[in-house]
Amino acid sequence: MHKQYFCGTNNRPACGRVEVTQNSFCFSFFCQFIWYFNFFVVPLPLNLTITLSMKRTYSKGCSIALITAIYALAGVAGVLLFNFTNPLIANPLIRLFLADVLATIIVWAFGLLYENVSVYDPYWSVFPPVAFLIWAFYTGTWSLPVILLLIASWYWGWRLTRNWAITFKGIAHEDWRYTKYRSQHPLVFHLINLFGLNMMPTLVVFAAMLPGLKLFETTNPLTTNPLTLVLLIIGFLVCIAAATIQLIADKQIHDFRAGHPGKCCNVGLWKHGRHPNYFGEISFWWGIWIMYAAFNGIDWFICGAIAMTAMFLGISIPLMEKRQLANKPEYAEYRKQTRILI
């Protein structure tokens, strides 16, 4: 027995539709929770449960609201875990890492529910600036390095999240990379999804964040070696320049695609590098590390920036290049004439 519940008028869904089946009531409270987080006020009978395949007929606005609610839930769960593990785990960085992992798992779970790995996409740009700001309140540290870190990370996060919102088409649309993995590796896709598409980026980003988190332990650069202050400013400027490069590259490629759909973008920054947006992303995390290195020199914390660089050069860029070569005949010539980054 199948029943459909709609939010809207004339039996047309305003934001979405969920199919439910009569079954035991083991998922009933979960059903109620999902509906509330879809901003519906439609109580489900206790003998009805949600199927694990939700119909994705959401508008873009409702989809963004839904993802915002999912991230709010993940954030609350992370904060609770951070606080509850305090007596057991003394190191707050480890507790922050566990909270990050838990939040990722929650986002991944909702991606399963909506059959869309792209639910995770904005997590990359949301967690770092929010975590840095929360860490400033938690530690009570508002030194010059921390203020510069917050400015740089929130500018970068705003740029990246803004670009995601512009290109986001709704919960029904999944990034082509995920659909490719889903179709090519159906038997092991859920493992690839959890560990490769969700957890690995989370781990890499957290590793790249560690130098920034260690900045909260630094002393006032105005009372140390003048070279420390110079390197701190250089690192900050690298971060700002990197995010600005990404912002300009975004505008240029959006404008080009609007006027030349299906063509290879070779104007502006894209004339000088095939992936200026990735160049900016890599440079941002190196800027964070330079700010840290101003106080601590070169140590194992450089591994985060190295891992970030390796992920783009070894995974993201090759995937994009292969797709471009397959879909745009002129890309092969463009590839010969243009550097990989900038």
Q: List the chain pLDDT tens, one digit each, 342 residues.
A: 444 433 343 443 444 444 433 333 333 434 444 444 444 433 333 333 344 555 456 789 999 999 999 999 999 999 999 999 998 999 999 999 999 999 999 999 999 999 999 999 999 999 999 999 999 999 999 999 999 999 999 999 999 999 999 999 999 889 988 998 898 888 899 999 999 999 999 999 999 999 999 999 987 766 668 899 999 999 999 999 999 999 999 999 999 999 999 899 999 999 999 999 999 999 999 999 999 999 999 999 999 999 999 999 999 999 999 999 999 989 999 999 999 998
Please give the residue range of the domain that contains residue 291.
60-337
Residue 286 is encoded by which pair of tokens? 């190196």
How confident is the model at residue 57, as a pLDDT? Answer: 66
> Angle at Cα 56 formed by Cα 54 and Cα 186, nearest 5°?
70
How confident is the model at residue 122, as a pLDDT? Answer: 96
Residue 189 sits in the same domain as residue 236: yes
Residue 25 sits in the same domain as residue 127: no
Residue 13 sits in the same domain as residue 97: no
Residue 80 sits in the same domain as residue 44: no
Residue 220 sits in the same domain as residue 108: yes
Residue 11 sits in the same domain as residue 140: no
Residue 192 sits in the same domain as residue 327: yes
Q: How many domains does the chain have?
A: 2
Q: What is the DSSP letter of 325?
A: H
Please indicate, yes or no, if residue 327 is contained in any of the structural domains: yes
Please indicate, yes or no, if residue 167 is contained in any of the structural domains: yes
Residue 319 C-beta-side C-alpha neighbours within 13 Å = 13
CA nearest to 249, candidates 283, 226, 279: 279
Please indicate, yes or no, if residue 213 is contained in any of the structural domains: yes
Q: Do the Cβ atoms of 118 and 175 come closer than 8 Å?
A: yes
* pTM, 2 dp: 0.83
Q: Do the Cβ atoms of 149 and 212 come closer than 8 Å?
A: yes
Residue 77 sits in the same domain as residue 8: no
In terms of Cβ atoms closer than 10 Å to its own Cβ (0-12, 13-18, 19+), residue 223 is: exposed
How confident is the model at residue 239, as a pLDDT? Answer: 98
> Angle at Cα 188 formed by Cα 184 and Cα 189, nearest 5°?
60
* Spatial separation of the C-alpha atoms in residues 102 and 90, rounded to whole Å: 18
Residue 325 sits in the same domain as residue 259: yes
The alpha-helical segments, DSSP class H, found in 174-275 are 176-184, 189-191, 200-214, 226-259, 269-272
Residue 46 sits in the same domain as residue 65: no
* Spatial separation of the C-alpha atoms in residues 92 and 35, rounded to whole Å: 35
In the block, tokens 């879909």 appear at 327
* Spatial separation of the C-alpha atoms in residues 247 and 262, rounded to whole Å: 21
* Spatial separation of the C-alpha atoms in residues 41 and 315, rounded to whole Å: 43
Residue 128 sits in the same domain as residue 17: no
Please indicate, yes or no, if residue 342 is contained in any of the structural domains: no
Please indicate, yes or no, if residue 7 is contained in any of the structural domains: yes
